[in-house]
Amino acid sequence: MGDQEFLDTSEAQIAVHWQEEARFIPSAQFIAQANMTDPAIIDRFSLANFPECYKEYADLLTWYQYWHTTLDTSDAPCWKWFVGGKINASYNCIDRHLAKYKNKAAIIWVPEPVDEPNIVLTYQELYNRVNEVAALLQDFAGLKTGDRVTIHMPMVLELPITMLACARLGVIHSVVFGGFSGMSCGERIADSGSRVVIAMDSYHRSGKLLDHLEKASPALEEAQKRGQTVDKVLIWQRYPHKQPNKAKLVAGRDYYMNDLLPDYVGRRIDPVPLPAEAPLFLMYTSGTTGNPKGCQHSTGGYLAYVAGTSKYVQDIHPEDVYWCMADIGWITGHSYIVYGPLALAATSVMYEGSPTFPDAGRPWRIAEQLDVNIFHTAPTTVRMLRKAGPDEPAKHNYKFKHMTTVGEPIEPEVWKWYYDVVGKREAVIVDTYWQTETGGFLCSTMPAIHPMKPGSTGPAVPGIHPVIYDENGQEVQAGSGKAGNVCIRNPWPGAFQTIWGDRDRYVSTYYEKYNKDKTSKDWRDWPYFTGDAGVKAEDGYYRILGRVDDVINVAGHRLGTKELESACLVVPEIAEAAVVPLADEIKGRVPDIYVALIPGVKPSKKIENKVVKAIETTIGKIARPKNVYIVADMPKTRSGKIMRRVLASISNGRDIGDVTTLANPDIVADIQRMVQGN
Ligand code: WTA
C-alpha cells in the first residue's frame, strides 16, 4: 500500500472535526475528597525527575524484596522496571489487605437475570477461592511459574479468581475475550504455547443463556492445526453441577472445575515471589498484519502503574464502590476491574450481561442498589444508553462522584449527556486515552486538578511525555491545528515488555519509525509510536483522531482489516476482499466489506451470508460487518493494488477524488450506484 492510500483509508481521515469546546470545572465537593489535589505532581513526574519519579507508584505496592534499579535500559527498547525487586500480584491484590479489610467486599458480581441474587465476595473469601484454585492448577494441572494458560471466559466471578490464582503461581495468563470465536481462541492458544485451557460452560447475555463450551472444540482443533496440543481443559460451570453436559467432554482431557475443587478445600498456596520483570499476562490485540500480537505485560511495573493510575486518575479509595462496565477480556478489564482496583483494596463491581437488559435503566438500577460512586464505561455504551433511554438516569437515585470514558473518542454532544444526565452535573469525567500495549492511561485530565474539555482526552497523565511527529520526524507544535502521529518520548512502568515470541515485530511496529539510533541504550532515542493520529491544542490538551494503520476501532475494540479480509477469503467463492471503516452512530466505526467473486460464480444473498458467517466463526460476532457488497471488480491501481481509499469514500458518502488514473475507473461509478443507490 502506498503512503497516500495508507493515510487516506485510515480512521483518522474520517474523524469528525469537532469544535473547540468550553471547559468544565471539577466540583468543590469532588476536590475536597480526592486522592490527588496537588498540582505539584506534574512537576514531580517531569522529565527532569524521570525515571525516579515512578518510585511513588512502586511504593503503593508491597515488595518481598525492594528493587535497586528504577529503569534498566541495557536491552533497549525492552525496558526493565524496578530491577532487583521481588513481588507477587496476587499477594498485593488480596493477602496484604486481609488484616484490615478481610470482611470488605472485594468484588460484587451482578448476574444478568434480574431474579438471581448478586454475589458478594469479601477479601477473605477471594483469598480462600484463589488459594484453592491455585492449588488445583499446581497439583492437578501441573502448572508452574512461567507456563502460559489460555482463559476463554465471560464476565463471571470465576474469571478474576482464575487470573489471580495464576498470578499467585507466576503462571502467565492469556485471557481471550469471551465474544471471540473458538478459532480466534485457538490461534491464541497456539501462539502462547498454552497446554492448559480454562473455559466456561455458559453465561447469560441479552436474555439468553449462551452455550460457551461449544467454542472449545474448534479452539482446540485450531490450536492443534498450529502445532499446539492441549492436554487439559478445565471448565467452570455457570450453575455448578446443574448442567453437566458431560457428553461434550473428552475423557482424560476435559474436567469440570466443580468436580475437582472439593479435593482442594482449605488448601493454601504461598504466593511465589517473582522478579519485578516476570511476565504477569499476555493480552492479544490486532495489528496491521494477519496474526494478533500477544502483548506481554510485566508484574512489578504493570501493577505499580495500574495501582498509581487507579488511585490518582480513577480516584479510587477503599471505601468507594467502583464499577467498570468493560469486559475483563480486554485490557481495560485487566487493569481497571481486576489489578488496579484490587491492589488498592477497592470494591469492584462486575456485571455479567448486556447494559440494556432487560431495558436501558439496568445500569442505573444497579448503581442505585449498590450505591456505586465511580462509574467507568466506553463511549459506545454511553451512545447506546443515551439512544435507548435518554431519561432513565434521572429516574434513579444514585450519585456518582467520578465517571470515566475509555477506548474511543467521545463526541462532545454525547459527553454532555454523560455529564448532565448520567453524572447529574456533579460527577467529574475523565476521558482516558491508552492502548492494550500501554497497560494503563496515557492521557487524561487529573480529575481534581484539570478542567474537563469535551471531545479531548486532556493532557498526558503524570510521567507520560507525548510528542506529535509528522512523517519526517518533525515535531508538530501545539496550537498549530495540524494532526500528526502521537508518540511518547519516554518509557513508563505500565508499558508492555515485548510481543510474545516476536521481539522484531515489537521493535519494528512501535519503535523503528522514530528511532534515532538502533544501537542506542538511551531511552531518549526510542520514542514509542502509538499508531494514532492526534492534535494538540494550545492548552496542551490532546484530541485523538483515530488509527493511522489498518486497524478499525469497532465499539472500542480493535480489529485488523487484514484479519477481516483473510476471514472473507475462507469462503471458496470469494476471490478478493477489501474491508473499510464505516462511520456508525453507536459503535463509532463498523467494517464494510467489498468482495469480488471467482470467475463463473453468480452473486447471491447466500454468498453474502457466507461471508458474514465466516467472519463470525473466524473472529467473532463483534466483527460482524454492516454491509457485504459483491462487486464485479475492485477499483485498482495500474499496478494491481486495491484502492481501499476509494471504497472507504464510497461507503462513507464522501468525495471519491480523482480516479481517472485507476486501471478500471468505470467500476467506481458502478460500485457507487450499488452502495449509494444513485
Ligand atoms: C483508541 C483500549 C480516542 C486509540 C484501552 C487507541 C481512544 C486504541 C481513546 C486502543 C480515547 C483509546 N480517545 N481514542 N480516550 N482510548 N482510543 O488497545 O485509537 O483496545 O490506539 O485499548 O483505541 O485500543 P485498545
> What does the pLDDT look like over 118-137, one tens digit per residue?
999 999 999 999 999 999 99
Consecutive H or E run containing 40: helix 40-44
Q: How confident is the model at residue 658 (pLDDT cuts 50, 70, 90)?
A: confident
Identify the residue whose cell numbers are 494538540: 536
Q: Is the peptide bond before 39 cis (omega within 30 degrees of 0)?
A: no
Q: What number is the average pLDDT over the span 197-221?
A: 96
pLDDT of 4 > 70? The answer is no
Q: Read off the pLDDT of residues 367-419 as tens digits, 9 standing for 90 and up.
A: 999 999 999 999 999 999 999 999 999 999 999 999 999 999 999 999 999 99
Q: How confident is the model at residue 19 (pLDDT cuts 50, 70, 90)?
A: confident
479: left (phi over 0), alpha (psi -120 to 50) or beta: left
Distance CA 554, CA 623 (A): 8
Q: Read off the pLDDT of residues 510-561 as tens digits, 9 standing for 90 and up.
A: 999 999 899 999 999 999 999 999 999 999 999 998 888 888 998 888 898 8
Distance CA 173, CA 256 (A): 19
Distance 554 CA to ligand 1 centre (A): 10
> How many other C-beta atoms lie within 10 A of the C-beta of residue 618?
23
Please give the radius of gyration of the chain, using alpha carbons only, rounded to the nearest integer.
24
pLDDT of 2 > 50? The answer is no
pLDDT, residue 12, reads 58
Distance 550 CA to ligand 1 centre (A): 14
The one-letter amino acid at 201: D
Contacts of residue 285, defined as CB under 8 A and 6 or more positions apart, other chains included, come to 292, 293, 295, 331, 435, 436, 437, 558
- Specify the residue with its C-alpha closest to ligand 1, atom 22: 435
pLDDT of 1 > 50? The answer is no
Q: Read off the pLDDT of residues 466-487 as tens digits, 9 standing for 90 and up.
A: 999 999 999 999 999 889 999 9
Cell of 288: 496491521
Distance 546 CA to ligand 1 centre (A): 8
Distance 381 CA to ligand 1 centre (A): 15
Residue 282's DSSP bridge partners are 174, 296
pLDDT, residue 546, reads 87
The one-letter amino acid at 30: F
Is 292 touching ligand 1 by the criterion CB < 6 Å?
Answer: no
Distance CA 102, CA 114 (A): 28
The one-letter amino acid at 248: K
Cell of 457: 482526552
Q: What number is the average pLDDT over the span 433-462?
A: 97
Chain-centroid distance of CA 582 in Å reads 21
Consecutive H or E run containing 599: none
Q: What percent of the chain shows pLDDT beyond 90?
A: 87
Of ligand 1's listed atoms, the one at least distance from the Cα of 330 is 20
Q: How confident is the model at residue 16 (pLDDT cuts 50, 70, 90)?
A: very low
Distance CA 400, CA 37 (A): 19
Report the candidate in 457, 482, 477, 454 with the shortest Cα–Cα distance to residue 541.
Answer: 457
Is 408 touching ligand 1 by the criterion CB < 6 Å?
Answer: yes
Q: Read off the pLDDT of residues 321-375 as tens digits, 9 standing for 90 and up.
A: 999 999 999 999 999 999 999 999 999 999 999 999 999 999 999 999 999 999 9
Is 547 touching ligand 1 by the criterion CB < 6 Å?
Answer: yes
Is 407 touching ligand 1 by the criterion CB < 6 Å?
Answer: yes
Query: Average per-residue pLDDT in the chain?
Result: 94
pLDDT of 7 > 50? The answer is no
pLDDT of 670 > 60? The answer is yes
pLDDT, residue 246, reads 61
Distance CA 399, CA 654 (A): 43
Distance CA 640, CA 367 (A): 55
Is 431 touching ligand 1 by the criterion CB < 6 Å?
Answer: yes
pLDDT, residue 678, reads 52
Task: Give this prediction's pTM.
Answer: 0.94
Distance 431 CA to ligand 1 centre (A): 10
368-373 CB contacts, 8 Å cutoff, 24+ apart: 368/396, 368/397, 368/398, 370/108, 370/110, 370/118, 370/321, 370/323, 371/321, 371/398, 372/321, 372/322, 372/323, 372/398, 372/400, 373/320, 373/321, 373/322, 373/399, 373/400, 373/401, 373/402
Classify residue 422 by its DSSP letter. Answer: I
Exposed e or buried b for every residue in 169-179, given b needs 16+ CB within 10 A?
A: bbbbbbbbbbb
Secondary structure class of 227 (helix, strand, coil): coil
Distance CA 260, CA 198 (A): 13
pLDDT, residue 198, reads 98
Residue 518's DSSP bridge partners are none
- Specify the residue with its C-alpha closest to ligand 1, atom 5: 435
pLDDT of 138 > 60? The answer is yes
Report the candidate in 530, 550, 440 with the shortest Cα–Cα distance to residue 485.
Answer: 530
Q: What number is the average pLDDT over the span 89-117?
A: 98
